[in-house]
Structures are given as C-alpha cells and as structure tokens.
Amino acid sequence: MSENKTTYESLDGKIAPEALLKDTRGKLQMVDGHGIKQEADYDDPDKLYGMLIARIQKYHPSADVTQIEKAYNLAKKAHGDQKRKSGEPYIIHPLWVAIILADLEMDKETIIAALLHDVVEDTVMTDEEIKEEFGPEVALLVDGVTKLGQIAYDADKIEVQAENLRKMFLAMAKDIRVIIIKLADRLHNMRTLKYMKPEKQKEKARETMDIYAPIAQRLGISKLKIELEDLSLKYLEPEAYYDLVEKIAVRKSARDAYVHRLMNDVEACLKDAGIKATVMGRAKHFFSIYKKMVNQNKTLDQIYDLFAIRIIVDDVKDCYAALGVIHEKYKPIPGRFKDYIAMPKPNMYQSLHT
Ligand code: MN
C-alpha cells in the first residue's frame, strides 16, 4: 500500500495513456506518457528544450541551467544535419532522453550526459572534449553509455542468454546513472520504433522485454519498466496488444467512475481513523494483464485487479493501521493478502497488498 514515489501513477485511475489512443486519423500519438499530443506539437527542438527546462525546474526550482543549455547547444551543433528515421532532426532524440530522465528527477550531470549521450558515438566530438567542457563526471557517464551501446546481442540467443546479458550489463556500468540513461535511451527508441523495419522492431522489442525491462524492474523504476513492457508487447504480440487496448478502453469510463467512488470512500475512512494518507488509483498495465491471462489461462473478465487503489502513508505503523481500516470496511479475499514489508521483494520493494 505504501510505495516508493518513483512508481507509475495515474492519479485519476485512468488506464495507461495509450488506451486512449484510438488512432482513426493517424494523427494522434502518445508522445511521452503524459497524454496525447499532435505529432507536430513538439518536433521543434527549441520547444522541446523549453519543456525540459520547465520539468527540471519543477523538482529543482533553483537549478542553474547554464551547463544544461551549453550541452544542448553543443549536441545540436555536433549532430548537425543528422536525421532520425522519422525524418526529424537527430537532436530530438537526446532531448527526449533528457526529458524522460527529468521526469525521474535525476541530477544535473545525468541530464547533461543524456543530451550528449550519442555525440561520441555518432559525431566528431571526442571524450576529451566532453571532459574539458563539462568535467570528468559527465565524461564518465557519456563514456559508460557509449560502452554499454557496444554490447552485441545475438538476436537468436537473447532468450537463452538473457540472465547473462543482464549481469554483464549491470557489471559494465560502474555508475548506476549510466544504466538509467541507457534505459531512458531505450525507452525513447521504443516509443519511436514504428519508423523501423518490421524485422528490426521485433528484434528490439525482444531485447527490451528480456533485458531492459527486467533491469528497470530490478532497479525499482517501475515507471520505465511498465512502458518498456507495454511497448514491447505491442511489437511482439500486436494482435493481443490491440485487442486489450480496445477491450479495456470500452470499459474505461465505467471503471473510472467506480475507482473514483472507491477512492473517496477510502479517503474518508482513513481520515476518520486519523491516518494521514495519499490515496491514488492505479490501472494495471497491458503487459501485466496479458501475462496474467496467458500464465493463468484467464479471460479479461476473470482478472480482478485491472485497477487498484494505492495508499501512501508516512511510516510502517500507519501502513498496517491503514490495512486494518480497509479490512474493517472491505472483506479481504482469502489468499490474496501479501506482506512485502515483512518480506521485501528482491529489489527492496516494500508494501502491503490486499
Ligand atoms: Mn541514443
């Protein structure tokens, strides 16, 4: 019930944004997990840069952005006329990677390294120059990301070797921020995968599902894990994916209303009991539903936790107290209660599930 703040929240209990996407005119597109935007909205690099700074200032209002601006201008110049497969200027990509990281409230060095993450690999700029301009810390991060990019995967063996590849990946990066940048890099590449050839799409999706998503999970960054898994499913099992998107979207409004009522009731009960808490709705993501249907051979109707309520409290004592309040009002389902406080998950996740 209480959970690390970095996890994915959809505050109003709405389903993952892509469920809203009923792409009839081929115009609408989910761009960043925050909603649907017109494709043309953000292809201007300077506008994207403005968005990046705005998001940084949300969690770090007094941030000195001169170094970030310098990195942006330098990367833009270094990538020059290079284009993404989508036809957009290449700088769009590092900008989005930096924005994903700003949403995770990462530090300045990580944001700067994100903006520069492809310049050593793809342009004439060298490691030494980065060190000179931005210091050894940023240079090490960029170098780490470049090296991780050089791990060669054998497409046929990914499933068999996944555990080894994940270990190698984690061992190669001496700084955890390198891995987080790499995950953000992969996420943006997955968001824009539709511009790749079908064969490449499957290959990248397989890699993402078997290597990147589990690493995100192991690091406890469920916001990234969820989107990586859903995007992989979309390319690995397109039929199942679109089937789910459609079925779930249909029931969405009824479910939203129900979740809202439930949230209000729960909030009131906790308040009466004198427990300070934040109550949120969360929708199960597509891959998680899909996995449950396949593994437990269930239909969509047989899945009870398509949505859930999440209660965040200040300490462990309040967490158990909140559970007491909930079980007093709602009858628990036998065998469904889990105490991850007494027995944390391997990634140190702690909470109570009921
Ligand atoms: Mn990249």
Which is it for the CA torsion 36, 41, 45, 47, positive or negative?
negative
Work out the end-to-end distance of the chain between its first and last CA atoms, rounded to an integer number of angstroms: 8
Angle 163-287-336 (CA atoms, 0-180°, nearest 5)?
95
In total, the chain counts a number of residues equal to 354
Ligand 1: centre distance to CA 30 (Å): 20
Q: Count, in order, helices (H) and strands (E) of the chain.
A: 16, 6
Ligand 1: centre distance to CA 187 (Å): 10
Report the alpha-carbon distance of residue 172 to residue 293 in Å, rounded.
36
pLDDT at 250: 66
3-state secondary structure 39-77: HHHHCCHHHHHHHHHHHHHHHCCCCCCHHHHHHHHHHHH
Alpha helices (H) in 219-347, listed in sequence order: 222-236, 238-250, 252-272, 286-295, 316-329
Report the alpha-carbon distance of residue 21 to residue 340 in Å, rounded.
35
Residue 338 has phi, psi (to 5 degrees) of -130, 130
Structure tokens at 16: 């993952």
Report the alpha-carbon distance of residue 282 to residue 298 in Å, rounded.
21
Angle 326-327-329 (CA atoms, 0-180°, nearest 5)?
65
pLDDT at 252: 66
pLDDT at 36: 40
Structure pTM?
Answer: 0.78
Nearest to 16 by CA among 38, 37, 32, 39: 32
> Which residues touch 343 (CB under 8 Å, ≥6 apart)?
none
**131-164 burial: b if 16+ Cβ within 10 Å, else e:** bebbeebbbbbbbbbbebeeeebeeeebeebbee
Structure tokens at 332: 């628990």
Ligand 1: centre distance to CA 185 (Å): 5
Q: Are 74 and 142 in contact (CB under 8 A)?
A: no
pLDDT 10s digit of each residue in the chain, 354 long?
443 333 333 333 333 434 333 333 333 333 333 334 444 455 789 999 999 999 999 999 888 899 999 999 999 999 999 999 888 999 999 999 999 999 999 999 999 999 999 998 888 888 899 999 999 999 999 999 998 888 777 777 777 788 888 888 888 888 999 999 999 999 999 999 999 999 999 999 999 999 999 999 988 898 899 999 999 999 999 999 999 888 887 666 777 788 888 899 999 999 999 999 999 887 778 898 899 899 999 888 888 777 788 999 999 999 999 999 999 999 998 888 999 999 998 888 899 999
Catalytic residues: 121-122
CB atoms within 10 A of CB 110: 24
Ligand 1: centre distance to CA 114 (Å): 8
pLDDT at 220: 87
pLDDT at 42: 52
Ligand 1: centre distance to CA 64 (Å): 25
Nearest to 319 by CA among 298, 297, 344, 299: 344
